[in-house]
Amino acid sequence: MKKAIQLTINGQPVEASVSPNQTLVQFLRDDMGLTGTKHGCGLGDCGACTVLLDGKAVNSCLVLAVQADGCQILTIEGLAENGKLHPLQQAFVDKGAIQCGFCTPGMILSAKALLDEKPNPTELEIRTAISGNLCRCTGYQKIVEAIGEAAEVIRFREES
Amino acid sequence: MGDYRVLNTRAPRIDGPAKATGQAKYADDFKMPGTLYAAILQSPIAHARILHIDTSKAKKLPGVKAVVTSREAGLIKYGVSPARYDETLFAHDKVRYVGDEIAAVAAFDQDTAQEALSLIKVDYEELPAVFDMFEAMKEGAPQIHNEFPGNMNAEVHQEFGDTDAALAACDLVIDHTFLNKRQDAAFIEPHSCLAVYEPSGRLTLYTSTQVPHYVMRTVAMTLQIPVGNVRVVKPYVGGGFGPKCEATPLEMSCGLLSKVTGHPVKMSYSREQVFLHSRARHQFYAEMSLGVMKDGTMVALKNKAVLDGGAYTSFGIATVYYSGSLLGGPYKLKSMKYDGYRVYTNKPACGAQRGHGGVAHRACFEQLIDMTAEKLGMDPIDMRLKNIMMTGDMTVNELDMSSLGMKECIEAIRKGSDWNNKKGKLPKGKGIGMACGFFVSGAGYPIYRSDTYHSTVVIKLSEDGGMANVLTGSAEIGQGSDTTMAMIAAETLGISLDNVRVYSGDTDYSVDLGAYSSRQTLMTGHATKEAAEEIKSKIALYLSQELNVPIASITFGDGIVKFDGGPGNFDKLRTNYIKEHRGWTDPPSGEYLTFREAARLAYLRAGTIVGTGKYKPPKLGGSYKGAAVGTSPAYGCSAQIVEVSVDLDTGQITVDGMTDAHDCGLAINKMSVEGQMQGSLSMGLGECLFEEVKFDSRGRIINPSLGEYKIPTALDMPKVKSIIVESNEPNGPYGAKEVGEGAIMPTIPAILNAIYDATGVRINELPVTSERLFMALKKNAEGAKI
Ligand code: FES
Ligand code: FES
């Protein structure tokens, strides 16, 4: 018993039929081939599956695909524009915020949700925004620095 | 330090853009037409005899392609060290822990595979089980393996000098005990594997592992496939930290099911299964005595270890040796005695985890040094400096510190943390503590007895000469080894990092023992350097023949080739190159011959230009039993200072700051070195303050999720000051050595010493939750009243 849904993924309208118990992360990874969204626990604990749903960071393992009907989804694959890394992606690369990279897509999207709302966050705000995204590799320091730097780049870009 | 162009910089990782955009592929991202999905049936009982397994119903379920048990898999024993092969792929006579594998199923989809598991009927006869290591050692305890009476999996007894006599002659002897808890590695990517068995008899595994080479060997052995027909490909890996250092039942089951069905077979562990598979940090009990003279000179150390190994050996033999061999340094001692026991219990097997075998004992020892310093009225830093080993020193157990910037590390953190103005001067509830540690840069010997090279590398130039392709079996697991090898190749060839590509993690590319014991930089680094040097000499030879110049006059660097330090006369080469590449966008230009043109000439003379490199350590270590474990061509070392605030009413601990110095030899990539240091600190902080895998009374894990099992979040980590100390390691490529594991050594004791400084209470059991500290504070206050 599949259900038809219509949604926008990374700016592209998508029509699909999904089973009622399929999670959004399964739908994105298995049906859409968007494997940049990672699956680390399936329980809402690790944040590796974070995507933006109508601009808000959500754990896509806790959202059913049917719940995304009519929504705008942004995954890590939709962040770079015209082959150019988004400032957050660039800062993660430049600042050494990536090691194994498994937390990175979710981390970057949580950071994006933060910066969209608070272009000039404090360190504590940054740490709080990513506190649902676990990283076992980096100790977070370089991630926090990268998000701070990206915020600056984005602000500068918007001012000029 | 040398004058480097590529090395010793903060170059962004070469895999950064792929990982930042989601293009990087991990094992679970692979898909193949016709793939079946597999699932494993695991024991719900901790200890039981298997009376009967009935798979008939599961086999009949529509959509199921195969069900395998020990009948199909056979009973070939495997493990990590051939001296203790004590596992079979599927349990046949007994199950020994909750999670022991009994059968596996392959079906057209995941749901069907899961449903089939529920249709397999297993009759058990439950046996008494034992979960505590001390209980397991007692007479009459349930026996887990018949071959190992008393549940004694491994025993180590080593003594250097006469420790009892030395202790008796000391002015002061202090004792301490310490107990950590079982830790989970909690890498964010669960294990995942896709197995593809081809009609030709070839099996390829795409799997999340740290050690493609060992997985290849184990899988070939257990599935009885000629080893040359097994290929293991490691895509990007989402963290390993030790537990991904051995072949898993997941990999073997996928391989077997693919062989049986002829389909590709895929499986991923759930987070709970990651906890059940474990192979992570043991629980250690340490009992130690340190003897010193009045002036603070350390003389003798006695060390006893009991390790809760769980139901199988895994890496455990090495672990129980490491708890002894990696202890004495970086301090000079006259004698040292070690007795270690690794005990079987009915719990998931423990194995290697970051700082293998050394972390808990280091925590005990470094507390003991502080306790001794306090008794002697010495500053803990001065006490350590008094006894510190220097470059060229040898530990009592004959580990050779061919470079050791320990003193420099201590001085760096003393200054970096403003220790002199803080130690002894902080208000109650605030504390500062320090500790040191050291670790191997790669194990001196492979896991199985062999004369094998530990690393080989092939570098192949592209036909236009513009790109050097590095082929290696080494394992990029997040630590940055691909970038390290690219940097070493670029530096050696004298070209830019953009002109190097790394293909890694594939047993078809080269031999490499993989990412464990902090070995890739030193060992694969050597092989990469040697391969690049061979390329250079080939190019130089053909240039000298073509241009009729002496080989010795030719030098490489900055992407160009010089002749006697000048441009030389290479016009005909350039003309020829441009003629051959008419219409291309990037003709070579400039006043010097480019590397690209020189490499093209070499190609025209000799075909594809390939350089190979290899490395194995020289024979290392003493001649006593077990002398091999702990040997390494080089040792990294580190020192840390931690500052804490403790709420004396609740026991709540806040880590306010950490200052960390690590000697990694030449820092090939400073940004990656800091990354390893900071990651180590967070893993150590987690183990110290909140991580603990807990079991119920029947051996079931009660917190097998990242929600219940807490690892540090961004809010738990303080700002860390990372100071890189560089020595010149004679046995390392370009003077480089480890950073991946040594950096975790001082973290736990530094925190514990800081807590003591803040509260006057010594904690000797982890994790130091606020509850544990509160109870200790209460007990201390009551003690003071009496
Ligand atoms: S996979 Fe969704 S939170 Fe872990
Ligand atoms: S980089 Fe590995 S989990 Fe964050």
Q: For residues B645 and B430, is the Cβ–Cβ distance under 8 A?
A: yes
Which tens digit of pLDDT belongs to each residue from B649-690? 999 999 999 999 999 999 999 999 999 999 999 999 999 999
Q: Are residues A151 and A114 in the same domain?
A: yes
CATH of the domain at A153: 1.10.150.120
Q: What pTM was computed for the model?
A: 0.98
B336 in the same domain as B479: no
User: Pick from B277, B302, B323: which residue ends a domain?
Assistant: B277
Cα–Cα distance for residue pair A131/A144, rounded to 1 Å:
11
Q: Which ligand is nearest to the CA of A41?
A: 1
A92 lines ligand 2 (CB under 6 A): no
Q: Looking at the complex, report in whole angstroms how far the Cα of residue A122 sits from the nearest Cα belonging to chain B.
A: 13
Predicted pLDDT of residue B783: 84
The tokens for B61 are: 């379920």
What token pair was written down for B245? 């250092």
* Number of structural domains found in chain A: 2
Alpha carbons B150 and B144: distance in angstroms, whole number: 9
B323-345 pLDDT, tens digit each: 999 999 999 999 999 999 999 99
With pLDDT > 70 as the criterion, what percentage of chain B qualifies? 100
Residues B428 and B468 occupy one common structural domain: no
Q: Is residue B496 part of a domain?
A: yes
| Nearest chain B alpha carbon to A48 | B188
Residues A105 and A55 both lie in one domain? no
Q: On the CB side of B716, how many CA atoms lie within 13 Å of its CA?
A: 27
Asked if residue A61 and residue A8 are part of one domain, the reply reads: yes
Q: A50 alpha carbon to ligand 1 midpoint, in Å?
A: 7
Interface membership of B236 toward A (CB under 8 Å): yes
Nearest-angstrom CA–CA distance, B650 and B658: 23
CA-based nearest distance A78→chain B, Å:
8
Using the mean position of ligand 1's atoms as its centre, give its distance from the Cα of residue A104 in Å.
Answer: 13
Pair (A60, A105) in one structural domain: no
Residues in chain B: 786
Neighbours of B628 (CB within 10 A): 18
Average pLDDT over residues A107-113: 98
Shared domain check, A105 and A42 = no
**What range defines the domain where residue A50 resides?**
3-78
Between β-strands B230-233 and B203-207, what pairing exists: parallel, antiparallel or unpaired? parallel
Given pLDDT bands bounded at 50, 70 and 90, which one contains residue B191?
Answer: very high
Closest CA to A96 of B676, B154, B208: B676
Evaluate: CB of A103 within 6 angstroms of ligand 1. no
Q: Are residues A50 and A114 in the same domain?
A: no
Nearest-angstrom CA–CA distance, B228 and B202:
8
CA distances A91 to A87, A95, B17, B199, Å, are 6, 6, 10, 47
Cβ within 8 Å, pair B671-A96: yes
Find residue B402's DSSP bridge partners: none
Using CA atoms, how far residue B769 sits from A5, B765, B772, in Å, is 47, 10, 5
Last residue in a domain, options B260, B277, B294: B277
Q: Is A132 in the pocket of ligand 1 (CB under 6 A)?
A: no
Rounded to whole angstroms, how far apart are CA atoms A45 and B309?
28
- Pinpoint the alpha helices (H) of B88-137: 110-119, 133-137
Residues of A in contact with B31 (CB under 8 A): 33
Q: Measure Cα distances from B487 to A80, B506, B511, B611 in Å.
A: 27, 20, 20, 16
Kindly state whether residues A74 and A91 are assigned to the same domain. no
Q: Give, rounded to a whole angstrom, the gap between the first and last alpha carbons of chain A.
A: 52
Sign of the CA dihedral running B18, B706, A129, A59: positive
Contacts 24+ apart (CB under 8 A), A78-83: A78/A9, A78/A10, A78/A11, A79/A108, A79/A109, A79/A112, A79/B21, A80/B21
CATH number at residue A59: 3.10.20.30
Residue B188 in contact with ligand 2 by CB distance below 6 A:
yes
Segment B8-19 shows an average pLDDT of: 98
Pair B265, B376 in one domain:
no
Estimate the crossing angle of helix A104-117 against helix A87-94, to 10 degrees: 130
Of B638, B241, B631, the C-alpha closest to B454 is B631
Q: B188 vs A140: CB contact, 8 Å cut-off?
A: no
Domain boundary, last residue among A34, A58, A78: A78
Domain co-membership, A48 together with A74: yes
Condensed to tens digits (0 to 9), the pLDDT of residues A56-88 reads 999 999 999 999 999 999 999 999 999 999 999
Residue B545 · residue B468 · CB < 8 Å = no
The DSSP string of A99-137 is SS-SSHHHHHHHHHHHHHH-SS--HHHHHHHTTTS--SS
Q: Cβ of B267 under 8 Å from any chain A Cβ? A: no
Task: Point out the domain boundary residue: A29, A61, A78.
Answer: A78
Q: Is residue B606 part of a domain?
A: yes
**CA distances to A28, A39, A58, A60, A74 from A22, in Å:** 10, 14, 16, 11, 18
Mean pLDDT within B99-117: 98
Cβ of A136 within 8 Å of Cβ of B188? The answer is yes
Residue B171 lies in a domain: no
Give the chain A residue whose CA is nearest to the CA of B22: A36
Half-sphere exposure of B496 (CA within 13 A, CB side): 7
Q: Is the pLDDT of residue B634 over 80?
A: yes
CA–CA separation, B157 and A121 (whole Å): 56
- Ligand 2 pocket mutation pick from A99, A109, A140, A141 by most atoms within 8 angstroms of CB: A99
CATH of the domain at B338: 3.30.365.10
Q: How much of chain B exceeds pLDDT 90, in percent?
A: 98
Instruction: List, for residues B160-183, the tens digit of each pLDDT value.
Output: 999 999 999 999 999 999 999 999
Instruction: Give the residue-averaged pLDDT of B100-114.
Output: 98
If asked whether residues B656 and B689 sit together in one domain, one would say yes
Are B586 and B474 within one domain? yes
Model confidence at B786: pLDDT above 70: no
* Residue B529: count of CB within 10 angstroms of its CB: 21
Please say which residue of A20, A46, A78 terminates a domain. Answer: A78
Give just the sign of the alpha carbon dihedral B225, B228, B229, B235: positive
Q: Is the dihedral of CA B264, B265, B271, B276 positive or negative?
A: negative
Work out the minimum CA distance from B11 to partner chain A, whole angstroms: 8
Q: Does B270 touch chain A (CB under 8 A)?
A: yes
Among protein residues, the one with the nearest Cα to ligand 2's atom 3 is A135
- Give pLDDT, residue B1: 56
**What is the pLDDT at residue B784?**
74
Q: Are residues A136 and B23, on separate chains, in Cβ contact within 8 Å?
A: no
Residues of B in contact with A85 (CB under 8 A): 17, 20-21
- Please tell me whether residues B306 and B438 are part of one structural domain: yes
DSSP classification of residue B701 = B
- SS3 letters across A9-23: ECCEEEEEEECCCCE
CB pairs under 8 A between A and B: 180
Q: Residue A38's closest chain B neighbor by CA?
A: B189
Identify the domain containing residue B54 by its residue range: 27-127+188-239+244-277
pLDDT averaged over chain B?
Answer: 97
CB A141 near ligand 2, within 6 Å: no
User: Is the domain of B474 the same as that of B570?
Assistant: yes
B515 inside 8 A of chain A by CB: no
Question: Measured between alpha carbons, how far is residue B92 from residues B44, B59, B68 in Å?
Answer: 15, 19, 12
Give residue A1's pLDDT.
83
Tokens 């080993």 — which residue?
B389
Rg (CA), chain B: 28
Report the number of distinct structural domains present in chain B.
3
CATH of the domain at B47: 3.90.1170.50
CB-based contacts of B458, cutoff 8 Å, min separation 6: B470, B471, B472, B509, B510, B531, B610, B611, B612
Ligand 2 and A68: CB distance under 6 A: no
The mean pLDDT of B196-213, rounded to a whole number, is: 98
Q: Is the pLDDT of residue B149 over 80?
A: yes
Question: What confidence tens digit (pLDDT) does each residue in A5-51 have?
Answer: 999 999 999 999 999 999 999 999 999 999 999 999 999 999 999 99
Which SS3 state, helix, strand or coil, does residue B479 take?
coil
Q: What is the ipTM of this complex?
A: 0.99
Q: Which ligand is nearest to the CA of B707?
A: 1
Mutation site for A-interface testing, chosen from B188, B241, B477, B671 by largest number of A Cβ within 10 Å: B188
Residue the block writes with tokens 């000029």 = A160
| CA-B189 nearest atom, ligand 2 | 3
Query: Tokens representing B492?
Result: 């050696």
* DSSP string for B290-328: EEE-TTS-EEEEEEEEEEEEESS-TTHHHHHHHHHHTTS
Q: How many CB atoms lie within 10 A of CB B780?
A: 14
How far is residue A67's CA from residue A21's CA, in Å, rounded to a whole number? 10
DSSP character for B520?
A: I
One-letter amino acid for residue B746 of the chain: P
Q: Give the nearest ligand 1 atom to A50 CA.
A: 2
- For residue B70, is pLDDT > 70? yes
Is B705 part of the contact surface with chain A (CB cutoff 8 Å)? Answer: yes
B24-65 pLDDT, tens digit each: 999 999 999 999 999 999 999 999 999 999 999 999 999 999
Residue of B nearest to A145 (CA): B719
**Angle, CA of B249, B255 and B261, to the nearest 5°:** 125
